[in-house]
Chain A
């Protein structure tokens, strides 16, 4: 066994050391595999970044209360329902004993993307007066918070970065009225950074919603208190509302879109893999052909077919791993952290950053290895099985 291992190591070392003699074909394979891996990883980084942004948005101790079966855009809650929910057990209270709840409106406005100068939907959220105590982790990064009862708004950091005209101090037109951007906020990179916030009461008037809202956010005493709030909403026939944790609410939203991105990425990468596979096969057959006299000589000396097989496979796998890692490096250098925007829940734009992770790099390298394995297998089989005399003639 150790002799076989020694032979394998000797032949493998010879193969790898002879790569510089076939540098251009080897390089073309590395680049092709790197390109395929890069495309896959770019898609996966998109899906990962989107999922991280959206699923990272929700807090487990904030409840989202909506009309049964409704989403935030289509839900309607009456004033009576909102008031009744204030009595629900398990909802945290402010210092002066008020339930920490924020009745909210959610409307869609137009924004112009800086990158493409095209229109896109942006969510404008009306917040209740206690919203800052319901949502934690929100920080005004420049300017100040809007004042209640005024046409002032604050914008998420991603909005001012990606869309035109939302810088602090700028005026915008909403429903034929002038509004002033008075501040910009950060929310730990969550989906809220893709929103604009204003006073709910002013928006109710502006969009003629009367006293209705679309959702209520409530801070829970603890994540376990969610069930109490749910039971309360179920028990009273006047309420009949859906109660979810904010975390679950956004996790469900993120899954659909990140699945779509992933399901686009993998088939595209697999289709491209066939091209890279052809390149790998070509390179490895060329490698075996170039080494045919060496293979024949070793076999004549008494070497078996296995070292020739393993040596060829090792070369192919090495080229593919290098290609895979280069592809990953390319995505890391050019795309990781790059801002992107896509349609999130409620037909509005979600701005997020592409996010490459170790797990994704592993997936990319595995794809590269599969290409290398298949691309190396048949040439390696030929190297192992070719009759010695045929190999001498070919060499």
Chain B
């Protein structure tokens, strides 16, 4: 486990809904090695997105420990968690979550505003990220002027622009047609293979899961590992 990027130990997660407590996980253990590309599947309500939120530090477990590169992150304050996310995690959402009033380049630049980089260095990074996702020529376009696939590519550029180790993708192709979805998934595969990004992707789509190195099935708070390529 020494090369694991993230390790979850004995994780429990409960929500209070009205007067009822809803238990999502109990004693969940998990390790994600560096440069892994994991697809997480499971029925609705099985806790896939909750797990993704725990990995990304936007939610905290009710019990257990989460360590990122050997350092605990589940006990960090909100401010330190925000800094952790800015430095280590890139998010790709199903509905892209781009800022409609900003251009593609301005959207991609957002995570860099949290770094010490100056305007020139930021511009160069944005240009590089947009080139990686083949959208350098759309830098000045606003999201409304881009197709769904192009918007998701901008979102991927935003996720990788600050060079985080971990990419968390929540149904990244859920809103796209098959051809565009494959294009996006191919891009994630390239980021994993060529740039060494560790990727955790939540999906309902078995075809999407085939692009990952492995698939974890989450059911009733436990993992079942399946090799879809076998």
Hey, which bits of chain A sit against chain B, CB under 8 A? 3, 6-7, 10, 14, 17-18, 21, 293-294, 296-304, 388-389
Q: Is the CB of B58 within 8 A of A300?
A: yes
Q: Which residues from chain B contact A18 at a C-beta distance below 8 Å?
A: 100-101
Q: Is the CB of A7 within 8 A of B114?
A: yes
- With A7-B114, A17-B101 as contacts: A301 and B91 at CB distance below 8 Å: yes
Residues 145 to 177 of chain B near chain A (Cβ within 8 Å): 158
B102 to chain A, nearest CB (A): 7
Please list the 6 inter-chain residue pairs (A to B) with the smallest Cβ-Cβ separation, ordered nearest first: A302-B86, A297-B97, A17-B101, A302-B85, A388-B58, A302-B82
Q: Which residues from chain A contact B86 at a C-beta distance below 8 Å?
A: 301-302
Known: A302-B82, A302-B85, A389-B58. 5 other contacts (CB 8 A): A3-B114, A3-B116, A6-B113, A14-B99, A300-B91
| 29 contacts across the A-B interface (CB closer than 8 A) | A3-B113, A3-B114, A3-B115, A6-B113, A10-B113, A14-B99, A14-B101, A14-B102, A17-B101, A18-B101, A293-B97, A294-B97, A296-B97, A297-B91, A297-B97, A297-B99, A298-B110, A300-B58, A300-B85, A300-B91, A301-B86, A301-B111, A302-B82, A302-B111, A302-B114, A303-B113, A303-B114, A389-B53, A389-B58
- With A301-B86, A302-B85 as contacts: A7 and B102 at CB distance below 8 Å: no
* Residue of B whose beta carbon sits closest to that of A18: B101
B109 to chain A, nearest CB (A): 8
Q: Which residues from chain A contact B82 at a C-beta distance below 8 Å?
A: 299, 302-304
Q: Which residues from chain B contact A6 at a C-beta distance below 8 Å?
A: 113
Q: Is the CB of A7 within 8 A of B113?
A: yes
Residues 45 to 64 of chain B near chain A (Cβ within 8 Å): 53, 56, 58-59
A388 to chain B, nearest CB (A): 5
Which of A21, A297, A302 contacts B93 (CB under 8 A)?
A297
Count contacts on B: residues with CB < 8 A to the other chain: 25
Q: Is the CB of B115 within 8 A of A389?
A: no
Task: Bits for B52-88, please: 1 = Cβ < 8 Å to A, else 0.
Answer: 0100101100000000000000000001001111110
Q: Which residues from chain A contact B101 at a C-beta distance below 8 Å?
A: 14, 17-18, 21
Residue from B59, B86, B93, B101 having most chain A Cβ neighbours under 10 A = B101
Q: Is the CB of A301 within 8 A of B85?
A: yes
B168 to chain A, nearest CB (A): 9
CA distance A7 to B58 in the complex (A): 19
Q: Which residues from chain B contact A10 at a C-beta distance below 8 Å?
A: 110, 113
B203 to chain A, nearest CB (A): 18
* Residue of A whose beta carbon sits closest to that of B90: A301
Residue from A6, A301, A302 having most chain B Cβ neighbours under 10 A = A302
Q: Which residues from chain A contact B53 at a C-beta distance below 8 Å?
A: 389
B156 to chain A, nearest CB (A): 14
CA distance A300 to B88 in the complex (A): 12
CA distance A299 to B59 in the complex (A): 12
CA distance A263 to B192 in the complex (A): 72
CA distance A246 to B2 in the complex (A): 95
Q: Which residues from chain A contact B93 at a C-beta distance below 8 Å?
A: 297
CA distance A299 to B100 in the complex (A): 16
* Residue of A whose beta carbon sits closest to that of B58: A388
* Residue of A whose beta carbon sits closest to that of B88: A302
* Residue of A whose beta carbon sits closest to that of B86: A302
CA distance A63 to B100 in the complex (A): 72
